[in-house]
């Protein structure tokens, strides 16, 4: 790392990025971007997928080393030329990515000091490591033992371990990339409160999030990126900043309606689940889904609300070919006749498709191209005599690229290089190519920006208009209220409420959950 004094150091600023430009072959990812973070503030960075947020943070943290971009980075009044992540961490800049970098089968202590173990004469000093871990866990509000395995922690607690790991490196600027994407509301609030505590201790933070309500809760200032450029800098204390104001800057236009207008044409019931019971996939005595009954009508969008751990994903996966759980019992009916969903192949042939909440691990083959991902679940649809017809496969991929407005250089582009919203469209295309009657969408807009969300909602509305039955599982209650026709409420493996959306509200949904606990 090379350091040089700035000509005019600013004492109130901890970080200044000037004129950052980063290009990839044929793509200008960052174009003269400027970012200023004041000492001790929480600074929000927002923008649509593909706006350049992650690229900018990779430049800052040394993933893209000095010389791989143009522009200047000043940290604590000195110009920094980071060669790698180790360089930026030595300076006190630590980034926590959305995909947590923890080793599941190692302990909390081993993860916190991995590659940086305290040692005496070349031998790890475990006593010192455990003592320091206890102090760090106390700082982030975790009561777990230092020797607890990461695999035994929930996602929210794993996120806190990542923060403890950052604190162990004497962090001065903490960067959090979508830290609450996989957290429930209470864990998210606890994490935001922790950022405020760190702020009181003089630690500056950069918070990247698609959840604008969370940004507004804690941010002192906000930088908006669009198409790789800085388009707005907002001081949350000097002016009135609300979600609409941010969205205008993000998308370059007004989003008068967050959800597309619909005139639903709901027909007869086409899908029904009766007395559905599922036991835990590893603990055979633990019942997860407890006698659930639900139905979906033709052209209807049915939402399933519930807190994290309520059993929504387990319900969906168990219906889709029993891909989760054991000792499963109950009936699944399509058009009044029981169907066999005992395997994924049989569930697909019966007309059911399931879009997973984890598109990167279970929805896509990231190292493969769009064309192959689109046809992956229905290779028979592009084959002749068990041989894939390359021309037909390309034709299908081009059709879904056009119909779903997948933004890409070509259908031969690797899916790993697409934005989150476009990756989600590829997953949708894959399952639509199987020709389902019932489409189960699990967290369909997780980790994608407000503009891409609107496009996904429009696709969902269009599918309902075509007469498909759709089930949407979402942790975002405004989303369910905005796109659903009817909502089921789940808690602890049971349906505890059902209401038409026009009579529903966030308060009514939470009341149904609380009432079930009291009973």
Q: Name the 3-class secondary structure at 56.
A: helix
Alpha-carbon span 278 to 283, nearest angstrom: 11
Q: Among candidates 487, 509, 506, which has minimal Cα distance to 498?
A: 487
Alpha-carbon span 404 to 457, nearest angstrom: 11
Q: Name the 3-class secondary structure at 237.
A: coil
Q: What is the pLDDT of residue 4?
A: 42
Tens of pLDDT, residue by residue over 371-425, are 999 999 999 999 998 899 999 999 999 999 999 989 888 999 999 888 888 899 9
Q: Are 182 and 99 in contact (CB under 8 A)?
A: no
Question: At a CB cut-off of 8 Å and minimum separation 6, what does 29 contact?
Answer: 22, 23, 52, 55, 228
What is the dihedral angle through the alpha carbons of 312, 325, 349, 444, rounded to the nearest 10 degrees?
Answer: 30
Pairing between β-strand 438-442 and β-strand 469-473 as defined by DSSP bridges: parallel
Q: What is the pLDDT of residue 7?
A: 44
| Token pair in block for residue 11 | 């004492």
Name the pTM for this structure. 0.67
Residue written as token pair 């969408």: 441
Q: Where are the domains of the chain?
A: 1-92+172-256, 100-170, 299-310+342-518
| Token pair in block for residue 491 | 């808690």
Residue written as token pair 């040394």: 62
Q: What is the pLDDT of residue 439?
A: 96
Q: Over the range 120-129, which residues count as b (16 or more CB within 10 Å of their CB) and which as e?
A: eeeeeebeeb
Tens of pLDDT, residue by residue over 122-151, are 898 899 999 999 998 888 888 889 999 998
Alpha-carbon span 84 to 144, nearest angstrom: 32
Q: Among candidates 464, 487, 47, 62, which has minimal Cα distance to 250?
A: 47
Helix or strand run (H / E) with residue 426: helix 420-432
Q: Do domains 1-92+172-256 and 299-310+342-518 have the same CATH topology?
A: yes
Q: Are 102 and 162 in contact (CB under 8 A)?
A: yes
At the top level of CATH, the class of 299-310+342-518 is: alpha beta
Q: Among candidates 341, 302, 340, which has minimal Cα distance to 325?
A: 341
Q: Which CATH number fits domain 1-92+172-256: 2.40.33.10, 3.40.50.300, 3.40.50.10420, 3.40.50.920?
A: 3.40.50.300
Looking at the DSSP assignment, which residues form a beta bridge with residue 33?
20
Q: Name the 3-class secondary structure at 293.
A: strand
Q: Among candidates 40, 89, 77, 82, which has minimal Cα distance to 62?
A: 82
**Is the CA virtual torsion 310, 463, 227, 59 positive or negative?**
positive
Which residues does the chain have with pLDDT short of 70? 1-11, 25-27, 49, 182, 184, 253-257, 308, 517-519
Pairing between β-strand 383-384 and β-strand 13-24 as defined by DSSP bridges: unpaired
Q: How far is CA 167 from CA 75, 96, 136, in A?
A: 18, 11, 7
Query: Strand locations in 339-427, DSSP E?
Result: 352-355, 383-384, 387-388
Tens of pLDDT, residue by residue over 80-128, are 999 998 899 899 998 888 777 889 899 999 999 988 888 888 898 899 9
């Amino acid at each position: 790392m090379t350091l040089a004094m700035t000509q005019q150091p600013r004492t109130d600023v901890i970080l200044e990025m000037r004129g950052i430009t980063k290009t990839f072959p044929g793509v200008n990812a960052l174009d003269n971007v400027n970012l200023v973070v004041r000492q001790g503030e929480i600074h929000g960075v927002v923008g649509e997928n593909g706006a350049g947020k992650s690229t900018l943070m990779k430049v800052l943290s040394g993933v893209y080393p000095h010389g791989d971009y143009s522009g200047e980075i000043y940290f604590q009044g000195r110009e920094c030329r980071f060669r790698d992540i180790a360089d930026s961490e030595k300076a006190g800049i630590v980034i926590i990515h959305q995909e947590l970098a923890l080793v599941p089968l190692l302990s909390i202590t081993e993860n916190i000091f991995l590659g940086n173990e305290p040692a005496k004469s070349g031998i790890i000093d475990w006593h010192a490591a455990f003592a320091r871990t206890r102090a760090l866990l106390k700082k982030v509000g975790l009561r777990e033992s230092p020797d607890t395995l990461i695999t035994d922690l929930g996602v929210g607690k794993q996120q806190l371990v990542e923060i403890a790991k950052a604190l162990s490196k004497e962090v001065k600027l903490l960067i959090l990339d979508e830290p609450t994407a996989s957290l429930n509301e209470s864990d998210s609030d606890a994490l935001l409160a922790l950022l405020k505590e760190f702020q009181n201790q003089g630690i500056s933070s950069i918070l990247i999030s698609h959840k604008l309500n969370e940004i507004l809760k804690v941010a002192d200032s906000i930088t908006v990126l669009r198409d790789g450029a800085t388009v707005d800098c907002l001081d949350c204390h000097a002016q009135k900043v609300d979600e609409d104001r941010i969205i205008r800057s993000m998308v370059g236009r007004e989003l008068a309606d967050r959800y597309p207008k619909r005139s639903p044409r709901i027909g007869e019931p086409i899908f029904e689940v009766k007395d559905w019971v599922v036991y835990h996939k590893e603990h055979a005595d633990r019942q997860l889904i407890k006698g659930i009954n639900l139905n979906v009508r033709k052209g209807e969008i049915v939402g399933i609300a519930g807190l994290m751990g309520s059993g929504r994903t387990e319900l969906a996966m168990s219906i889709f070919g029993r891909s989760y759980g054991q000792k499963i019992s109950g009936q699944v009916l399509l058009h009044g006749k029981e169907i066999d969903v005992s395997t994924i192949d049989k569930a697909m042939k019966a007309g059911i498709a399931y879009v997973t909440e984890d598109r990167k691990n279970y929805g896509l083959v990231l190292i493969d191209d769009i064309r192959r991902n689109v046809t992956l679940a229905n290779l028979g649809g592009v084959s002749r005599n068990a041989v894939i017809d390359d021309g037909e496969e390309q034709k299908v991929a081009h059709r879904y690229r056009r119909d779903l407005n997948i933004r890409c250089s070509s259908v031969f582009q690797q899916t790993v290089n697409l934005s989150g919203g476009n990756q989600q469209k590829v997953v949708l295309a894959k399952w639509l190519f199987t020709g389902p009657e019932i489409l189960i969408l699990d967290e369909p807009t997780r980790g994608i920006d407000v503009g891409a969300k609107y496009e996904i909602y429009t696709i969902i509305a269009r599918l309902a208009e075509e007469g498909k039955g759709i089930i949407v599982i979402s942790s975002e209650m405004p989303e369910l209220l905005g796109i659903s026709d009817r909502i089921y409420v789940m808690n602890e493996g049971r349906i505890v409420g059902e209401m038409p959306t026009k009579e529903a509200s966030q308060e009514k949904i939470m009341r149904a959950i609380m009432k079930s606990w009291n009973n």
